Structure 1
Amino acid sequence: MSSSLIELDHISKSFDGDLILDDLCLSVKPNTFVTLLGPSGCGKTTTLRIIGGFERPDSGRVIFEGQDITSLPANKRRLNTVFQKYSLFPHMTIAENIAFGLTIRKMPRSYIEDKIKYALKLVNLQGFENRSIDSLSGGQQQRIAIARAIVNEPKLLLLDEPLGALDRKLREDMQYELIRLKNELGITFIYVTHDQEEAMTMSDTVVVMNQGYIQQMGSPEQIYNEPENAFVADFIGESNIVPGLMIRDELVEIFGAKFACVDRGFGSNKPVDVVIRPEDVELVRPEDGTLRGIVTHRIFKGDNYEMEVTTPDGFEWLVHSTKKYELDDRVGIRVDPYNIQIMNKPESEDEQAASLLKEEAEKLV
């Protein structure tokens, strides 16, 4: 029997002839915080709506606790959804809003009252039962939307960019509140956002999506430190992505200079892409650097200086450093071998076609 709470089995979905999800497979274990992360139009909200029962896939299955729920209506699924627009009822009190789902289910009055008090305590809004929705701040309304969801005791809570309308400080506060609720309640969270920092802060697992595909799935640390392709490296944080030549195991050439690294198995004299994070670029005296360059741009960011260092080949290296350098300073660039990430270059169309033909041939053997 599967250990997953929910599985998406080869899900595809199109709208007006545009393919939004293409043969997507995803497995989510119980009591985890999973974030679907990607740019607008990547398919993350469509994925969430298919899980919630608000959309039907063109093909594939949604499996919940081992049961196929693909055709099950949204109101019959043991999950709840919190949207960016909280959809609270302005003519109802806070207590009535929270109790809405329980009232529809005709639960006993005493049970409903206990659940309201419990939910308000969880979201730190005790004593707000009789207040109106209009009297609440955006963050408080968001908490009420979550309280309304959790009183129904869902095994899975879906959140579609619920913090998008909040200011930065309130967003950060609510991120920690969501982590606390997940840990206290033991509910599985699937969260949709395009905010990389939000995803990295809250998640056990980050699913990076683009153009209807899962580009990479793993812990925040894995996604950030070991991106599997240039899209992930560029989308998650800031990166220097440069062409390189893998001379042999643990040695890569970048713009004619040889850098020690720790990667193996890429072959000899093979073109690769190299990812180096801005905070991993160490600026030293020109004679001590593996590459040399000139500081051509500098911004003070509060906890560090963001600089661009242009090397003779014309590449502009993005550098984050706590040490201040002046414009036109000549510097050396050095990188610790463990901070160099090697990736295979994307296949050309010819290579992709050859690879597909090989796969098809192998199926016929």
Structure 2
Amino acid sequence: MERALIDLKGITKLFDGEIILDELNLSIRENSFVTLLGPSGCGKTTTLRIIGGFERPDRGQVFFEGRDITDLPANKRQLNTVFQKYALFPHMNIFENIAFGLRIRKKSESYIRDKVRYALKLVNLVGYEKRSIDSLSGGQQQRIAIARAIVNEPRLLLLDEPLGALDLKLRQEMQYELIRLKNELGITFIYVTHDQEEALTMSDYVVVMNQGYIQQAGTPEQIYNEPENAFVADFIGDSNIVPGLMLEDRLVRIFGAVFPCVDSGFGRNRPVDVVIRPEDVEILEKEDPRAILHGVMSHSIFKGEMYEMECTTENGYEWLIHSTELHEVGTEVGLYVKPSNIQIMNKPASEDEEAIGVEE
């Protein structure tokens, strides 16, 4: 098991009296790709800035390999940051932009040449040394910003929504480039985004945040398939989140119909929240004996790789369904969900119920 590189302990941060981070605890392993994911204002960028030394917490400590670096200036930390606005120097060519940090550290010219060439090779921009910043596309500028960061051989690379300004196709290409760079360099990446697909595509570990708290942390598969609360289920992909009654272990009632499931330990006759992903709702013929609910197809959109449909069941709930097979609007159908595709969650005690104190 890789050792912990970063430990955040009891981090609290306020701006103008408003709590942005509230007693946040997080441990990040070395050589991992960790994404802080959440909506605007959830505290993810503030968390990144505290790790980077650009903000100081009002309470709590930041540890790097067990050493308290809470008061250590940003330029003394073994890390570099790539921001959404790349902050490249327009009056310098590509070579000088990448070499900037090395010159500050007073490295020799031969050392600088070797390191810049290596960095350009890593980002697939060999031969661009004399080009101006203005001559580059957005994706190329983003690669130069990354090259400028990695040329300093940081132990940790912080990325604050660096793909946000790129178009969809280029953003997807750069996702794969970042994964490749992380694997080749063998350093730890901490990445901030509000884009769920980005987080699930690139990360070893996803930290879902909201209102200054960590709602859930785990692998992309755990976050998607086993959300711990309704916020995570709703924020990560599309979901049907419906009220249920846990009759007993492995048996839940949803809208009057009884569904077998695989969850246990919730007690008997206990109200719960039930999460069912759209791709896990199976559409059957109306008379099929496996059908547990019945309804009428009420909406359909073709989205390229699948159809996004809605089925209104007898209780009036509109089920969101994803399928490669079209079912025409107005068709009467039955619905079935496999027990393993039903996720049971405790109902929150309050609107802000959160999970804090998370370790990888």
For residues 192-218 of structure 1, what are the alpha-carbon distances to aligned partners after superposition, in whole Å with 9 as ceiling and x for unaligned? 000000000000000000000000000
Query: How many equivalent residue pairs?
Result: 349
* Structure 1 unmatched runs, 5+: 353-365
Question: Could you tell me how far apart the structure 2 residues matched to 1:66 and 1:343 are?
Answer: 35
Q: Match for residue 292 of structure 1?
A: 294
Q: Give the 5 Å matches for 1:123-138.
A: 123-138=123-138
Q: Match for residue 338 of structure 1?
A: 340
Q: Match for residue 310 of structure 1?
A: 312
1:287 Cα offset (Å):
2.3
Corresponding position: 1:25 with 2:25: yes
For residues 50-97 of structure 1, what are the alpha-carbon distances to aligned partners after superposition, in whole Å with 9 as ceiling and x for unaligned? 000000000000001111110011111100000000000000010000
Question: Could you tell me how far apart the structure 1 residues matched to 2:33 and 2:305 are?
Answer: 29
1:347 Cα offset (Å):
1.3
Amino acid in structure 2 at the alignment position of 1:121: K
Corresponding position: 1:238 with 2:238: yes
Q: TM-score, normalised by structure 2?
A: 0.96
Question: Could you tell me how far apart the structure 2 residues matched to 1:63 and 1:326 are?
Answer: 57
Q: Secondary structure at the match of 2:4?
A: coil
For residues 80-128 of structure 1, what are the alpha-carbon distances to aligned partners after superposition, in whole Å with 9 as ceiling and x for unaligned? 0000000000000100000000001110110000000000000000011
For residues 260-296 of structure 1, what are the alpha-carbon distances to aligned partners after superposition, in whole Å with 9 as ceiling and x for unaligned? 1000111111111100000000000112210000111
Question: Could you tell me how far apart the structure 1 residues matched to 2:114 and 2:305 are?
Answer: 47
Q: Match for residue 67 of structure 2?
A: 67
Q: Match for residue 362 of structure 1?
A: none
1:3 Cα offset (Å):
2.2
Question: Could you tell me how far apart the structure 1 residues matched to 2:287 and 2:206 are?
Answer: 41
Q: Match for residue 363 of structure 1?
A: none
Question: Could you tell me how far apart the structure 2 residues matched to 1:255 and 1:66 are?
Answer: 51
Question: Could you tell me how far apart the structure 2 residues matched to 1:68 and 1:120 are?
Answer: 34
Q: Secondary structure at the match of 1:307?
A: strand
1:348 Cα offset (Å):
4.8
Amino acid in structure 2 at the alignment position of 1:60: G
Question: Could you tell me how far apart the structure 1 residues matched to 2:307 and 2:90 are?
Answer: 47
Q: TM-score, normalised by structure 1?
A: 0.95
Question: Could you tell me how far apart the structure 1 residues matched to 2:243 and 2:317 are?
Answer: 11
Amino acid in structure 2 at the alignment position of 1:76: K
Question: Could you tell me how far apart the structure 2 residues matched to 1:291 and 1:99 are?
Answer: 64
Q: Secondary structure at the match of 2:34?
A: strand
Amino acid in structure 2 at the alignment position of 1:307: M
For residues 160-193 of structure 1, what are the alpha-carbon distances to aligned partners after superposition, in whole Å with 9 as ceiling and x for unaligned? 0000000001001100000000000001000000
Q: Match for residue 106 of structure 1?
A: 106
Q: Give the 5 Å matches for 1:262-273.
A: 262-273=262-273
Q: Match for residue 215 of structure 2?
A: 215
Amino acid in structure 2 at the alignment position of 1:130: K
Corresponding position: 1:89 with 2:89: yes
Q: Secondary structure at the match of 1:292?
A: strand
Q: Give the 5 Å matches for 1:147-166.
A: 147-166=147-166
Structure showing greater relative contact order (alpha-carbon pairs closer than 8 Å, 6 or more residues apart): 2
Q: Secondary structure at the match of 2:287?
A: helix
Question: Could you tell me how far apart the structure 2 residues matched to 1:94 and 1:330 are?
Answer: 62
Give % identity.
76
Q: Secondary structure at the match of 2:316?
A: coil
Relative to its length, the structure with more helix (as a share) is 1
Amino acid in structure 2 at the alignment position of 1:202: M
Question: Could you tell me how far apart the structure 1 residues matched to 2:142 and 2:336 are?
Answer: 46
Q: Which portions of structure 1, spanning 4 or more consecutive aligned residues, are displaced by more than 2 angstroms? A: none
Amino acid in structure 1 at the alignment position of 2:127: G
Amino acid in structure 1 at the alignment position of 2:31: N
Amino acid in structure 1 at the alignment position of 2:96: E
Q: Secondary structure at the match of 2:162?
A: coil
1:97/1:301 CA distance change after superposition, 3 Å? same
* Structure 2 unmatched runs, 5+: 354-360
Question: Could you tell me how far apart the structure 2 residues matched to 1:53 and 1:223 are?
Answer: 29
Q: Match for residue 229 of structure 1?
A: 229
